[in-house]
Amino acid sequence: MKILLIGATGTLGTAVHKALAERGHEILTVGRSGGDLRYDFTDPARTAELYERAGRVDAVVSAAGSVPYKPVTEMAPEDYLAAFHGKALSQIDLVRQGIPRISERGSFTLITGVLAREPIPTGTAASMANGAVEAFVRAAAIEIAPQRINAVSPTVFTESLAKYGDFFPGMPPVDLADVARAYVRSVEGAQTGQVYAL
Amino acid sequence: MKILLIGATGTLGTAVHKALAERGHEILTVGRSGGDLRYDFTDPARTAELYERAGRVDAVVSAAGSVPYKPVTEMAPEDYLAAFHGKALSQIDLVRQGIPRISERGSFTLITGVLAREPIPTGTAASMANGAVEAFVRAAAIEIAPQRINAVSPTVFTESLAKYGDFFPGMPPVDLADVARAYVRSVEGAQTGQVYAL
Q: What is the pLDDT of residues A139-161, one digit of tens each?
A: 999 999 999 999 999 999 999 99
User: Cβ contacts (< 8 Å) between B133 and chain A: which residues?
Assistant: 128, 131
B157, B173 in Cβ contact below 8 A?
yes
pLDDT band at B43 (very low <50, low <70, confident <90, very high): confident
Q: Using the beta-carbon criterion (under 8 Å), do A96 and B77 form an inter-chain contact?
A: yes
Residue A42 in contact with residue A77, Cβ under 8 Å? no
User: For A2-197, which CATH class?
Assistant: alpha beta
Among the partner residues B84, B126, B138, nearest to A127 by beta-carbon distance:
B138
Q: How far is A156 from chain B (nearest CA, A)?
A: 17
Tell me: pLDDT of B45 over 90: no
**Mean pLDDT, chain B, as a whole number?**
96
Nearest C-alpha in A relative to B193: A119
Average pLDDT, chain A: 96
CA within 13 Å, CB half, A149 = 27
Please tell me the distance from the alpha carbon of residue A77 to that of residue A58, in angstroms, as a whole number: 37
pLDDT at A32: 86
ipTM metric? 0.97
| Per-residue b or e along B116-127, where b marks 16 or more CB atoms closer than 10 Å to that residue's CB | bbbbbebbbbbb
pLDDT at position B185: 98
Determine which helix (DSSP H) or strand (DSSP E) holds B190, and give its type and residue range.
none
Strands of the sheet with B195-197, listed across from one edge: B37-38, B26-31, B2-6, B59-62, B107-111, B148-153, B195-197
Residues of A in contact with B73 (CB under 8 A): 96, 99-100, 143
Does A34 score more than 90 pLDDT?
Answer: no
Contacts of B81 in chain A (CB under 8 A): 84, 89
Q: What is the pLDDT of residue A105?
A: 97
CB neighbour list of residue A11: distance below 8 Å, 6 or more residues apart: A157, A159, A160, A176
The 10s digit of each residue's pLDDT in B164-181 is 999 999 999 999 999 999
pLDDT, tens digit, 9 for 90 and up, residues A51-107 = 999 999 999 999 999 999 999 999 999 999 999 999 999 999 999 999 999 999 999
Omega before A146 within 30 of 0, i.e. cis? yes
Q: What are A157's strand-pairing partners?
A: A174
Instruction: Lay out the sheet containing A37-38: strands in order across.
Output: A37-38, A26-31, A2-6, A59-62, A107-111, A148-153, A195-197
Q: If you average pLDDT over residues B125-148, what whole number do you get?
A: 98
Q: Which pairs count as long-range contacts for B47-52, CB under 8 Å and 24+ apart, including other chains?
A: B47/B93, B47/B94, B47/B97, B48/B97, B50/B4, B51/B97, B51/B98, B51/B101
Other beta carbons less than 10 A from residue B153's beta carbon: 24
